[in-house]
Each structure stands twice: as structure tokens, then as C-alpha cells.
A and B are shown apart, each in its own frame.
Chain A
Amino acid sequence: MFKRLISSALLAGAAAGLIAALLQFVFVQPVLLHAELYETGELAHFVPTDHGEASGSGHDHGAAAPAAEASGSPAHAAHPGIDFARDGLSVLFSLVVYAGYGLLLTAAMALAASRGATITARQGLIWGVAGFAAVQLAPAFGLSPELPGMSAADVVQRQIWWLGTVAATAVGLWLIAFGKNWAFWGLAVALILAPQLIGAPHPDEFFGPTPPELAAQFAGRALGVGLAAWAFLGLAAGWLWSREPETALEPQAA
């Protein structure tokens, strides 16, 4: 049972991790690297460097039009090359993260199967989308995927909120799927809403140097890549699970 669980989970996780890494390089990494130019100060948002002074410090003389022209930021950074060490580590950690998600998802599928649920590839797709909702969408509702350089509250507080939100949402979704009556479904809604009503930790002041346009693009793309990878993860995990023989009925001596 354990071996079968682990092999299905790791195989599905590795494939999903590779897909996530590939999509990340095409859609997310360019935005991230662009933002790092602002984080390191190589690019500056709304600072008219040509005039040698920061915006808002004494532009009284009808400077609206020229200032706007001078302070705009380049919407397209030069396309970054491939950094083999950095990108190699990203592939590696993408594999590790999705292997972890694959193990958690397959464990949940096995638990449901042991209680009578049927797991197929199609069912797996729904499991994958639910996993995305629990692990990426629900936390992102309170803490958007962070672009480098964004101001944020204390990291440990955010991690605690993140973990609590993922756990509460996952249990809530489980209760929606397998609850038998309105008491379960009511509890599910309460569990999913609670962390969002409590609210994620946010900083007292916003002082990030990156343009909001980049942050918005980054958040949308990170979530889109997550949905694609999770949908595949669920599909693959469900398919691999359904191909395996029913171990619950196997004699223990085997």
C-alpha cells in the first residue's frame, strides 16, 4: 500500500512539477526578473532620474506633462537569458514542491477510496482543481503571490496564516465533497470563510518600489500556472491510482 501510494504520488508530482517549471519560465519568471530590477534599484518607478530629483519634491511649475513622461517605467525589460544554476534550482524545487503536493493529494485520495469513494482520472481532475483552490487560490485571496520587492508583514505571521488557511480550506472542501447533510456543509462554509474574515497579516505601510502593473500581472500568472499544474497533478494522480489493483482486498501475507 505504502509503496503504491508513494510511487503514484511521486510520478504524478514529478510530471506536474516539470509542467509548472516550464510554464513558470515562460510566463512568470520574466515578470519576476523584471521586478527584481526595481527591487535592486536598477530601474525606478515614478522617479524622474533625468532631473536628478525624486518625484513630489518641488515640482510646482506646471510639471505635470513632462514629469509624467520622465517618470514612466519601461513596460518591457530586455529578455533575460537562461541562468543555468538559478533556473536549475527552480526546476529542482518545483519538483520537490509538487512531489509534496502529490503525496498529500494521493494520501487524501487513498483516504477517500478507503471510505468507499471511486477515484478515476476524471475524478482526479476535480481533486486537482480543489487542491489548487485550497493551496493556492484561498491563500492568494488574502496574500497575493508576492512579487520580489513587495512590502509585506512579518514572514512567520504570514506563514502561520498561510498554513491555517490551507488547512481550513482543505478540510472545508473535503466536507463539501463528502458531507452528508447541511450541518457538514455549513461547517465547511464557515471553515473556508474564517481565515479570510480573520484576515491575512498585512504591513502597516506600503512602500514597495515595483509598479502595480507588474504585481498584478505576476499574481494572475502565478495563479494561472498553479491551476494548470494542479489540474494535471490531479488528473495524473487519479489516473495512476485507478490503474493500480485494489490493495485493500489483498491478503496481508502477500
Chain B
Amino acid sequence: MTISTPAERAGSAASSLGAILAAALLGAALIFAAGLAQSETLHDAAHDVRHATGFPCH
């Protein structure tokens, strides 16, 4: 078991927060592309899933 100094813990917490934020942003981008983007190609391809998943579709 490594004993971490307060500075190391702070650095780890900051990197955790960065990772959490990055994962959340990536997730939001996927949801936007699949569920909300109004590009016609994306809309047509995702049409059935948008309806079945309760996104406002068209």
C-alpha cells in the first residue's frame, strides 16, 4: 500500500475529475449525434431508435 502525500492526492483527484469530465463529454457527444442532430442522413439512419427511445424526432 502506497502512502500518498497530500499533493499527490490532490493531483490524483484533479486527474480523476478530468477523466470524469472527458467521459461525460464523450457520452454527451454520442447522445447528440445519435439522438438530437438534425442532419438528414443521421436522422434517417437513427430514425427508429430515436422514436423508440423517446427523443423528439421530426
Contact = CB atoms under 8 A, between A and B. Distances in A.
Nearest to B57: A146
Contacts of B17: 111, 114
A119 interface: no
Contacts of B4: 249, 251
A250 B48 CA distance: 44
Contacts, number: 143
Contact of B13 (A107, A140, A248): A248
Given A93-B34, A102-B27, A104-B28, A247 B57 contact: no
9 contacts: A24-B48, A28-B52, A103-B26, A103-B30, A106-B23, A107-B27, A108-B24, A222-B54, A252-B8
Interface of B: 1-2, 4, 8, 11-13, 15-24, 26-31, 33-36, 38, 45-46, 48-58
A2 B49 contact: no
Given A97-B31, A107-B23, A159-B36, A252 B15 contact: yes
Contact of A32 (B15, B46, B51, B56): B51
Given A136-B53, A155-B57, 8 more contacts: A1-B19, A21-B49, A99-B27, A146-B51, A218-B51, A225-B52, A250-B2, A252-B12
Contact of B33 (A2, A90, A96): A96
Interface string A218-244: 100011011000000000000000000
Q: Is the interface of A mostly helix, strand, loop or mixed?
A: helix
Contacts of B45: 89, 92-93
Nearest to A9: B23
B30 A96 contact: yes
B30 A2 contact: no
A248 B8 CA distance: 10
Contacts of B1: 249
A108 B20 CA distance: 8
Which of B4, B12, B24, B35 has most A Cβ within 10 Å?
Answer: B24
A96 B50 CA distance: 11
Contact of B16 (A28, A110, A156): A110
A148 interface: yes
B38 A110 contact: no
B28 A100 contact: yes
A223 B54 CA distance: 8
A152 interface: yes
